[in-house]
Amino acid sequence: MAPYLSSRTLSFHYGKHHRGYIDKVNELVKGSDLAESSLKEIIKTTAGDEKRLAIFNNAAQAWNHTFYWKCMRPKGGGAPSGELEKKITAAFGSFENFEKEFTEAATTQFGSGWAWLTSDGKSLKVVKTGNAFTPLAYGQTPLLTIDVWEHAYYLDYQNRRKDYIAAFLDHLVNWDFVAENLANV
């Protein structure tokens, strides 16, 4: 992913943060009624349940991060093509309008969180979620995400979140993965 995301950032992000969420959710569900559930099932079961907030947070972060990694590839970014391009243009007026809205959501997410391109089965939307929240908990289908927690970019970009977002959109987005997600809606 270099030079847009360094191996140091990826090592900390994937090897420490993401791994920590996976280890913690496995520990929290061990021996429970959720032990054999998928992350999606755990998220949907525990969303909004204050007694299971730790399980939700760790499951959602494990799922969000797994999804985020798939949203990127070396030599990615730029504009999508085909059916995905048509649907983005129909929903936002142009790809440039989508980029502007996605960048605005990612830039203005106060504190830690995520910006997403989602589908509710009828239309495409850009949404942002704080902390571990995920569109899965609200019945939306995630198509694309960017992690705007500081651990995702701070070693490379410090406080320049907008530069990280631009690098993500211009050079890293895996539009094939996004198109596959849309095809499965």
The string of pLDDT tens digits covering residues 31-40 is 999 999 999 9
Q: Which two tokens stand for residue 89?
A: 């243009």
Do 44 and 106 belong together in one domain?
A: no
Domain limits for position 15: 7-70
Q: Which two tokens stand for residue 12?
A: 């900390």
This prediction's pTM: 0.95
Name, in order, each residue with C-beta under 8 angstroms of 4's C-beta and a sequence gap of 6 or more: 156, 167, 168, 171, 172
pLDDT bracket for residue 16 (50, 70, 90): confident
Do 140 and 97 belong together in one domain?
A: yes
Q: 14 in a domain, yes or no?
A: yes
Do 94 and 46 belong together in one domain?
A: no
Q: 86 in a domain, yes or no?
A: yes
pLDDT (0 to 100) of residue 155: 85
105-113 long-range CB contacts below 8 Å, 24 or more apart?
106/146, 106/148, 106/161, 106/165, 107/161, 107/162, 107/165, 109/148, 112/148, 112/149, 112/150, 113/148, 113/149
pLDDT (0 to 100) of residue 79: 97
The string of pLDDT tens digits covering residues 108-126 is 999 999 999 999 988 999 9
Percentages (nearest 5) of helix, strand, coil residues in the chain: 60, 10, 30
pLDDT (0 to 100) of residue 86: 97
Do 20 and 101 belong together in one domain?
A: no
Do 172 and 109 belong together in one domain?
A: yes
Q: 75 in a domain, yes or no?
A: no
